[in-house]
Amino acid sequence: MAHSLDLADPLAHARGRFRLPDGIVYADGNSLGALPAAAPAHLAHVVESEWGQGLIRSWNDAGWIDAPAQLGARIAPLIGAHADEVIVADSVSVNLFKLLAAGLTPRRRTIVTLAGDFPTDSYIAQGLANLLGNVTLREIPLADIVTALDDQTAILLLTHVHYQSGARHDMAALTAPAHAAGALTLWDLSHSAGAIAVDLNAANADLAVGCGYKFLNGGPGAPAWLFVARRHQKRLENPLSGWMGHARPFAFEPGYTPAPGMARWLAGTMPILALAALNAGLATFDGLAPAAIEAKAAALTTHFIDRVAHIPGITLATPRDPAARGAHVALAHDHAQPLTQALIAHRVIPDFRTPNLIRFGFAPLTSRFADVETAAATLAHLIETQAWTNPAYHQSRKVT
Ligand SMILES: Cc1ncc(COP(=O)(O)O)c(C=O)c1O
Ligand SMILES: Nc1c(O)cccc1C(=O)C[C@H](N)C(=O)O
């Protein structure tokens, strides 16, 4: 069954764009994307030729200075943005700070967000509120989000696909009431970009951020990106007004003038080696349609849910409707942490999220239906044999 699904998979060839270890089922593309096969040679070229030979000249000759905008333009089609609406910079956390600060107005000082979204989003909003003193952060349950929007609300901040459950919001359906209340929307697309088809402009979204190291395959700690809709680009200003966001960085003027367009969202010098790895990650999407990527994510996760939902002790924590989820599936189990370690010891790599979730991220470019079958069968076996009773699987880990 899995074999015939893999044979019929129109994205099957994309796996060849990566280097994955033999005999491993990699189900953590939602935390760290796999290594693009072209990345080592590309990085070696940037190091040895551009840096080693070109030296400082490479800022111009190798186009280093334009890399954040060029990579932003490569991300744009994956998220329904225009090329000039996206730039690569900093981390998601820092980009959230910049956009939240920019979106506040003298009259609107409230940030509304969903209680239980990825913690950095609320940590950053709280830190900004503490810094400014007159900003309120409201963390609201999903059912009350729309009614929480009022004439004080500056920004509705939401993670599009939830990092734990994988549940996906209807972007257009939440953007409309935010706009009706006079607020902007800021979407965290860390678990969406490269995994499902996102259409920011069709949803009339205002602002967005996302990770480079997950489904975009940019490597550990890859730079993140941010989106500002064209209609807001003149008005919104980066509070981290560093020289790389200046209209004329090499004029070394005494006062700050923001660059026109997305360049103003840069602060300091861009990490060229990390951008080179992200470039290789984004190249893995060449010629692949976001709709096809989403269809594969839906098929993989549906196949997995069908195989695991009935296993005794497992509770599905992810929506059954593929349109209401991303590319990962979360399963609740009383012994999720040692079970995750047992899976890894058996060469199936998901991750654990406190308190009781095992997340299986099936990156559509690298995952095969055969991997899904192996992951499900291994999980069933480990539960059947009560693998969590083995003390070897109770080691504490800094990174889970
Ligand atoms: C939804 C979400 N937002 C933000 C982050 C953090 O991004 P960064 O480490 O780039 O700040 C993550 C994961 O680390 C995430 O899952
Ligand atoms: N950013 C991570 C890291 O530095 C180490 C390990 C995992 C991560 C992650 O990306 C976690 C991820 N954002 C999550 O959804 O849980």
Q: How many residues does the chain have?
A: 400
Distance, CA 357 to ligand 2 centroid (Å)?
A: 14
- Active-site residue identified among 213, 227, 352, 369: 213
**Nearest residue (CA) to ligand 2, atom 12:** 31
Look at strands 207-210 and 225-228 and give their pairing. antiparallel
Q: Cα-atom radius of gyration of the chain, to the nearest Å?
A: 22
Distance, CA 196 to ligand 1 centroid (Å)?
A: 17
Percent of the chain with pLDDT over 90: 99
Is the CB of residue 163 below 6 angstroms from any atom belonging to ligand 2?
yes
Q: What average pLDDT does this structure show over 371-390?
A: 98
Q: Which residues pair with 188 in a beta bridge?
A: 159, 209
**Nearest residue (CA) to ligand 2, atom 4:** 221
- Alpha carbons 387 and 286: distance in angstroms, whole number: 41
* Nearest alpha carbon to residue 159 among 203, 204, 193: 193
The mean predicted confidence, pLDDT, of the chain is: 98
| 296 assigned to active site | no
pLDDT value at position 118?
A: 97
At residue 350 the predicted structure's pLDDT band, cuts being 50, 70 and 90, is very high
| 252 assigned to active site | no
- Active-site residue identified among 74, 214, 325, 368: 214
Distance, CA 82 to ligand 1 centroid (Å)?
A: 23
pLDDT value at position 400?
A: 87
- Cβ–Cβ under 8 Å, residues 262 and 234: no
**Does the pLDDT of residue 257 top 90, yes or no?**
yes
- Give the helix/strand (H/E) hosting 279: helix 272-283
- Give residue-wise pLDDT tens across range 258-279: 999 999 999 999 999 999 999 9
pTM above 0.90, yes or no: yes
- Cβ–Cβ under 8 Å, residues 262 and 66: no
Atom of ligand 2 nearest to the CA of 399: 6
Percent of the chain with pLDDT over 70: 100
| 28 assigned to active site | no
Q: Enumerate the domain spans of the chain.
A: 1-36+288-393, 65-269
**Nearest residue (CA) to ligand 2, atom 5:** 399
At residue 1 the predicted structure's pLDDT band, cuts being 50, 70 and 90, is confident
Distance, CA 257 to ligand 2 centroid (Å)?
A: 35
The CATH number corresponding to 65-269 among 3.40.50.300, 3.40.640.10, 3.30.505.50, 1.10.10.10 equals 3.40.640.10
Is the CB of residue 31 below 6 angstroms from any atom belonging to ligand 2?
yes
At residue 371 the predicted structure's pLDDT band, cuts being 50, 70 and 90, is very high
| 109 assigned to active site | no
Q: Give CATH superfamily name and number for 1-36+288-393.
A: Aspartate Aminotransferase, domain 1 (3.90.1150.10)
| 359 assigned to active site | yes
- Give residue-wise pLDDT tens across range 102-138: 999 999 999 999 999 999 999 999 999 999 999 999 9
- Alpha carbons 237 and 189: distance in angstroms, whole number: 21
**Nearest residue (CA) to ligand 2, atom 1:** 31
At residue 192 the predicted structure's pLDDT band, cuts being 50, 70 and 90, is very high
* Nearest alpha carbon to residue 228 among 72, 68, 70, 67: 72
Nearest ligand to the C-alpha atom of residue 212 = 1
Distance, CA 289 to ligand 1 centroid (Å)?
A: 25
Q: Which residues pair with 156 in a beta bridge?
A: 112, 185
- Active-site residue identified among 188, 206, 351, 371: 188
Q: What average pLDDT does this structure show over 1-7?
A: 94
Nearest ligand to the C-alpha atom of residue 352 = 2
- Give residue-wise pLDDT tens across range 197-220: 999 999 999 999 999 999 999 999
Distance, CA 159 to ligand 2 centroid (Å)?
A: 14
Pocket of ligand 1 (CB under 6 A): 91-93, 118, 120-121, 159, 163, 188, 190-191, 211, 224
